[in-house]
Chain A
Amino acid sequence: MTPRLRFEAISKSFPGVNALSDVSFDVASGEIHGLLGENGAGKSTLLRILSGVFRPTSGSMFVDGENVFFRKPMDARGAGIAMIHQELQQVPHLSVAQNMFLGHPLTSVGGLFVSKREQERRAAEALSMIEPGIDPAAPISSLKVAQRQIVEIARALLDRARIIAMDEPTSSLTPSEFERLAEVITKLSATGVSIIYVSHKMDEVFRICQRASVMRDGKLVGAVDVQTASHQDVITMMVGRELMQEQHVSHASATVKLEARNLSSLTKIRDASFKLHRGEVLGIAGLVGSGRTELLRLLAGVDKFSAGSIAIDGKTVDLRNPRDAISAGIGLVPEERKREGIIPVRSVTINMALASLGRFSKAGIIQSGKLRNTAQDLLRRVNLRPLQLDRPIRLFSGGNQQKAIIARWLASKSQVLLFDEPTRGIDVGAKAEIYHLIEALAADGHSIVVVSSELPEVIRLSDRVLVMRDGKIGAELARADLTESAIVAHAIPGADTGKTPAPAA
């Protein structure tokens, strides 16, 4: 039987990175096929090729045995391929039906008018197959994320999609919402639609998929029969080495470097108090939206707090903007590197020096020799590859961009480093390097805060973990008590410890 979808030797390279090399696998019709891999393994790149956003550098794709070649996203859509992105691409103030017909509205009088009522009728029809409770006339912003996802699926049905690719669909869903989604997906596959389910969460894939392909560093490392494989097999395939098993060494001293007292913000944070010691790595865990990023932004002076205070070395500091935080010795390595971290067209050296240009200047003129020497030293120290100081930072891989941002805070001699999702969008090799860098910085006496959604990462790095919930610090876990289930138990509102999405293994 011809497979519904076949990837044959797909490769894709960007300047400075081989995002995909020689990926081949099949998806049968009606199959729910898992695509597993760490962040940066190449899953999203593969999906973008499937949906016509990128063209492969080489290789071909077949849909129902027919060789397809997509020049643009509309081509993929025409071939029956629908994408459901992690960040839902919907227009918030438009209605459910309008969103479902976005870009190709139903019209009357020869395309002159939009037939709103007909759109709503057809939308309701598609929705009724999977989730009848949604009102097609309601604004999309009034729906929960899980419902919005279902709207996207219904939209794919309207397009008569034969293949639906879902990119990390559960990243902001609660466990019960996941169950609902799993039902919908299973129902859909029974009608012959093939699903590609992309996730880095193994238990989800084990729960709903029949087969899974595992990717690492842009390559397909193997196919897994979900019925027979064990979690441990898959982890080893995904990570490639015993990255998470390394010995944890604490460098925390008794000296308090930073103390937050009763911090509150107008938007999210409520009454957060904690101490950060010299040489300590403090993890902050919690669900998406629990206020982790917001707390870091308060500490970094990016957002203002409405009550409370922050003290460095026992002295209260006034943080009105990031400049104040930087002079107090606090540096933020933000989550969204492209948006908040780098100046893409500028050289890696300038990106490194941006927070401390004053240090490299004399009488208002930048001393290029001094800047260059420091860049050589620091960028070598963080193991930037390639070590080309004048190369625009956008041409570096995600991991190397991250190293340059870390070097930025070394250049400014910051003592407190705040990491928000330090390894998001970074390939596995560089991930290990970032871990080692964080540990080396702590050993050097830096005080470090790490916010991460990846529990193994938090556990691997932290001397101590704060678990946030609804803008508050819900619990503090010492190194000895750090387990995934303990963190999850404190992170989920009203969680009864047994029924958490912690790994079954």
Chain B
Amino acid sequence: MTNSPAAADTKLPPVFGRFSFSLRDAGTLIGLVVIMAVFATLVPGFLSERNLINILQQSSINACLALGMTLVIISGGIDLSVGPTAAFSAVITATLLLSGTPVPLAILAGLGIGVACGFVNGILVAYVGLQPFIVTLGTLSTYRALALIYTGGNPVLGIPAGFRSLFNGSLFGIPTPVLIVAVVALAAWILLKKTPIGEYLLAVGGNEEAAYIAGVPIARTKITAYVISGGLAALASLILIGRLGAAEPILGNLWELDAIAAAAIGGASLMGGKGSILGTILGAIILGTMRNGLTLMNVQAFYQLLATGLIILVAMMIDRATRGRE
């Protein structure tokens, strides 16, 4: 097949735009702007630089999880085990740090635990053929139990300052968790938009049977998604224990729900085949903004929960209505 040089500079937009900003992402952004505008009028100082950075910092853990979750959801799966994965990884990392293991090694071990947890999920889904919901429901309990058994149920206290400064410091006035998540988001965006693996994820979630016949490596693709999700859950836990200075075996309870919500608000379809990295980040920031704004307004926790729930439902209804039938 000859490549006609003339075709290179056709007027049509390129398949992979430098920065393809979809209509759906624009919708999520508008949602965020509206919510921010509402809080700006209700809460003095809401739009201050300090508070905005606060929001980003508070959203970073959920955003980190939600990025992995987005990839899993795109592949047609779900990962309910992210919270326990994070907890297991956190207690191991913290114990290693306390026993004097060098920080980089402890971090690698912690991430390794997350990757291993994800790998187990992936194998059970891709090779054993169990449904993702069931697999990760099972490992949700299993990983949590491992964290509890390992620590005897007690928190691991006294994480060294060297580690904490890495995950709780700031660079050029921006908190390191925000920077870390920004880098992860960029990497995830490249993965999804520019690599064959990204296309495979979309294809497997979009139509697994057709993808198989087209030669897509189904098992490898699914396992990749779960491994990334597990690794990012571990990373999120490192951010958390860096901030708290302690690792509790019960940390990360219900994290999976926030992560799924961020991905869904950002346009991921739980049927698979669809999802957006930018949308997920915006979704996580929307949830973070809600919490931040309501807290500043001194709204009780019960009502915060109510508001968050309603935002998710409203977002999904708007999504449904604007997509039209089919």
Residues of B within 8 Å of A377, CB to CB, are 1-4, 7
Q: Hey, what's the 0/1 contact readout for B1-39 against A, CB within 8 Å counting as 1?
A: 111100110101111100000000000000000000000
The answer to whether B216 and A354 touch across the interface, beta carbons within 8 angstroms, is yes
The answer to whether B15 and A341 touch across the interface, beta carbons within 8 angstroms, is no
Complex Cα distance, B194 from A349, in Å, reads 14
- Interface residue? A368 (CB, 8 A): yes
The answer to whether A354 and B7 touch across the interface, beta carbons within 8 angstroms, is no
- Interface residue? B321 (CB, 8 A): no
B residues contacting the other copy or chain, number (CB 8 A): 34
- Interface residue? B305 (CB, 8 A): no
In the complex, which of the residues B16, B194, B213 contacts A300, with contact meaning CB atoms closer than 8 Å?
B213
- Interface residue? A358 (CB, 8 A): yes
- Interface residue? A90 (CB, 8 A): no
Complex Cα distance, B7 from A374, in Å, reads 9
In the complex, which of the residues A322, A372, A375 contacts B213, with contact meaning CB atoms closer than 8 Å?
A322
The answer to whether A354 and B15 touch across the interface, beta carbons within 8 angstroms, is no
Residues of A within 8 Å of B8, CB to CB, are 369, 372-373
Given contacts A368-B16, A376-B10, A378-B1, contact A340 B195 (CB under 8 A): no
Expressed in whole angstroms, the minimum distance between the Cβ of B318 and any Cβ of chain A is: 19
Given contacts A322-B213, A373-B3, contact A357 B207 (CB under 8 A): no
Given contacts A340-B209, A346-B206, contact A370 B3 (CB under 8 A): yes
Stretch of A16-24, A243-251, A359-367 on the interface side: A359-367
Given contacts A349-B15, A368-B15, A372-B7, contact A323 B206 (CB under 8 A): no
Residues of A within 8 Å of B1, CB to CB, are 374, 377-378, 410-411, 413
- Interface residue? A326 (CB, 8 A): yes
The answer to whether B214 and A408 touch across the interface, beta carbons within 8 angstroms, is yes
Q: Which of A361, A373, A375 has the most CB of B within 10 A?
A: A373
Chain A residue at minimal CB-CB distance from B218: A321
- Interface residue? B274 (CB, 8 A): yes
Within 8 A of B (CB), among A324-370: 325-326, 332, 334, 339-347, 349-350, 353-355, 357-358, 361, 364-366, 368-370
The answer to whether B196 and A364 touch across the interface, beta carbons within 8 angstroms, is yes
Residues of B within 8 Å of A339, CB to CB, are 207, 209-210
- Interface residue? B242 (CB, 8 A): no
The answer to whether B15 and A390 touch across the interface, beta carbons within 8 angstroms, is yes
- Interface residue? B217 (CB, 8 A): yes
The answer to whether B215 and A342 touch across the interface, beta carbons within 8 angstroms, is no
Residues of A within 8 Å of B180, CB to CB, are none
In the complex, which of the residues B4, B206, B213, B217 contacts A332, with contact meaning CB atoms closer than 8 Å?
B213
Expressed in whole angstroms, the minimum distance between the Cβ of B117 and any Cβ of chain A is: 25
Expressed in whole angstroms, the minimum distance between the Cβ of A410 and any Cβ of chain B is: 7
- Interface residue? A302 (CB, 8 A): yes
Residues of A within 8 Å of B12, CB to CB, are 388-390
Q: Hey, what's the 0/1 contact readout for A375-416 against B, CB within 8 Å counting as 1?
A: 111100000000011100000000000000000101111000
The answer to whether B213 and A376 touch across the interface, beta carbons within 8 angstroms, is no
Residues of A within 8 Å of B194, CB to CB, are 365-366, 368
Within 8 A of A (CB), among B57-110: none
Given contacts A366-B196, A372-B15, contact A345 B210 (CB under 8 A): no
In the complex, which of the residues B2, B202, B210, B274 contacts A340, with contact meaning CB atoms closer than 8 Å?
B210
Residues of B within 8 Å of A408, CB to CB, are 214
- Interface residue? B120 (CB, 8 A): no
Chain B residue at minimal CB-CB distance from A354: B214
- Interface residue? B203 (CB, 8 A): yes
- Interface residue? B118 (CB, 8 A): no
In the complex, which of the residues B13, B195, B196, B207 contacts A344, with contact meaning CB atoms closer than 8 Å?
B207
Q: Which of B3, B202, B207, B212 has the most CB of A within 10 A?
A: B207
Expressed in whole angstroms, the minimum distance between the Cβ of B88 and any Cβ of chain A is: 30
Residues of A within 8 Å of B213, CB to CB, are 300, 302, 322, 332, 334, 340-341
- Interface residue? A371 (CB, 8 A): yes
The answer to whether B209 and A357 touch across the interface, beta carbons within 8 angstroms, is no
- Interface residue? B199 (CB, 8 A): yes
Within 8 A of B (CB), among A406-447: 408, 410-413
- Interface residue? B124 (CB, 8 A): no
Chain B residue at minimal CB-CB distance from A390: B15
The answer to whether A372 and B14 touch across the interface, beta carbons within 8 angstroms, is yes
Expressed in whole angstroms, the minimum distance between the Cβ of B275 and any Cβ of chain A is: 11
- Interface residue? B211 (CB, 8 A): yes
Complex Cα distance, B7 from A370, in Å, reads 10
Complex Cα distance, B196 from A402, in Å, reads 23
In the complex, which of the residues A347, A350, A365 contacts B195, with contact meaning CB atoms closer than 8 Å?
A365
Chain B residue at minimal CB-CB distance from A361: B196
Given contacts A326-B215, A368-B16, A410-B1, contact A345 B274 (CB under 8 A): yes
Residues of A within 8 Å of B209, CB to CB, are 339-340
Expressed in whole angstroms, the minimum distance between the Cβ of A357 and any Cβ of chain B is: 4
The answer to whether B210 and A341 touch across the interface, beta carbons within 8 angstroms, is yes
Complex Cα distance, B14 from A255, in Å, reads 42
Residues of A within 8 Å of B4, CB to CB, are 373, 376-377
- Interface residue? B273 (CB, 8 A): yes
Residues of A within 8 Å of B210, CB to CB, are 334, 339-343
In the complex, which of the residues B7, B13, B16, B206 contacts A373, with contact meaning CB atoms closer than 8 Å?
B7
The answer to whether A343 and B15 touch across the interface, beta carbons within 8 angstroms, is no
Complex Cα distance, B17 from A349, in Å, reads 14
Known: A340-B209, A376-B7. 19 other contacts (CB 8 A): A322-B213, A323-B215, A339-B209, A344-B206, A346-B202, A366-B194, A366-B199, A368-B15, A369-B8, A369-B14, A371-B15, A372-B15, A373-B7, A373-B8, A377-B1, A377-B7, A390-B12, A390-B13, A390-B15
- 22 A-B interface contacts by CB (under 8 A): A321-B212, A322-B215, A323-B215, A334-B213, A342-B207, A343-B207, A350-B202, A353-B199, A354-B199, A364-B197, A369-B14, A374-B1, A374-B3, A377-B7, A378-B1, A388-B12, A389-B12, A390-B13, A390-B15, A410-B1, A412-B215, A413-B1
Across the A-B interface, the 3 shortest Cβ-Cβ residue pairs: A357-B196, A343-B206, A368-B16
Interface residues of B (CB under 8 A from A): 1-4, 7-8, 10, 12-16, 190, 194-197, 199-200, 202-203, 206-207, 209-217, 273-274
Interface residues of A (CB under 8 A from B): 300, 302, 321-323, 325-326, 332, 334, 339-347, 349-350, 353-355, 357-358, 361, 364-366, 368-378, 388-390, 408, 410-413
